[in-house]
Amino acid sequence: MKKRRTLSKIYLAVILILMYAPIFYLIYYSFSSGNTMDGFKHFSWKHYQALFVDTRMISIVLNTIIIALLAALISTAIGTSGALLIQHIKHRAWRQNVLVLNNILMVSPDVIIGASFLIFFTFLGIKLGFWSVLLSHIAFCIPIVVLMVLPKVKELPRSLTDAAFDLGATRWQAFSQVTIPGIMDGIKAGFFMALTYSLDDFAVTFFVTGNGFSTLSVEIYSRARQGIDLEINALSTVMFLVSLVLVYIYYRFSVKPSPKGGR
């Protein structure tokens, strides 16, 4: 038993090293005074200084955050409504067909999705830029939200809503005070998953972004083709630290302390 636990700890340590070693390697070179990752020269903040005066990069970061927040908010609202509607479909075959249609964007390659959106927007005459990127992100985030919310909708007892009606609640009161609080964990999970997918997306965004508008993933790809830029290392370090803070805040407020005492 002890041997198995030791092997489990070693396996976990190896996995964590493989996951975080490239990140810390990148962070390490963000403090190098050199311009490449061929060798660490002297400790310097110059890449961070260059980052914070790079107005183009700051604008792109803001674009990325705005797109991600809007896409997450809108897709969460639509996806939550979709999950509730799917659960209310009484015919099992129809419900399965709707779920299959919902999951198409989940299993389709990003390149195919991006090319499809490009053709679609070109056909409709929609100019590539902010709106094309936002609509694309909303579209591929909706199925993610549905998959996060639907299990919570299935777990919600029907008797709670019936009890609310018996007590004189209107449909809106039952929905806002019983249904929504009951599936709130799924809604939160769907929002954060949509936010993560939007921030992380490259392939779809690469197809539907236009001249004069870019997101962080596309900009990093464009700069990487021109050569290694340690300003990207500095930006990645800042984003990594911000992510750690956000994760800490999320768990700090989401994990409820166990009640002391009681019977």
Average pLDDT over residues 172-190: 84
Q: Are 41 and 33 in contact (CB under 8 A)?
A: yes
Average pLDDT over residues 61-81: 92
Position 247 scores a pLDDT of 75
Question: At residue 254, does pLDDT exceed 50?
Answer: yes
End-to-end distance of the chain based on CA atoms, in angstroms? Answer: 35
Position 259 scores a pLDDT of 52
In whole angstroms, give the CA distance from residue 39 to residue 178.
59
Question: At residue 159, does pLDDT exceed 60?
Answer: yes
Question: At residue 8, does pLDDT exceed 70?
Answer: yes
Position 157 scores a pLDDT of 80
Other beta carbons less than 10 A from residue 28's beta carbon: 13
Q: Is 166 helix (H, G, I), strand (E, B) or coil?
A: helix
Position 77 scores a pLDDT of 93
Position 163 scores a pLDDT of 82
Average pLDDT for the chain? 83
- Nearest Cα neighbor of 229 from 19, 51, 40, 64 is 51
- For 55-254, give the CATH class: mainly alpha
In whole angstroms, give the CA distance from residue 191 to residue 77.
9
Q: Are 201 and 137 in contact (CB under 8 A)?
A: yes
Between 164 and 124, name the one with better pLDDT.
Answer: 124
Q: Judge if pTM exceeds 0.95.
A: no
Average pLDDT over residues 113-140: 89
* Of 25-34, 45-54, 96-105, minimum mean pLDDT range: 96-105
Q: How confident is the model at residue 257 (pLDDT cuts 50, 70, 90)?
A: low
Q: How confident is the model at residue 39 (pLDDT cuts 50, 70, 90)?
A: confident
Question: At residue 30, does pLDDT exceed 80?
Answer: yes
Position 262 scores a pLDDT of 46
Question: At residue 68, does pLDDT exceed 60?
Answer: yes
Between 43 and 36, name the one with better pLDDT.
Answer: 43
Helix axes 130-155, 92-107, angle to 10 degrees: 140
Position 135 scores a pLDDT of 92
Using the structure block, give the residue that is written with the tokens 């993610």: 144
Q: For residue range 198-246, what is the model confidence (pLDDT) as tens digits?
A: 888 888 888 888 777 888 888 888 877 776 678 888 888 888 888 788 7
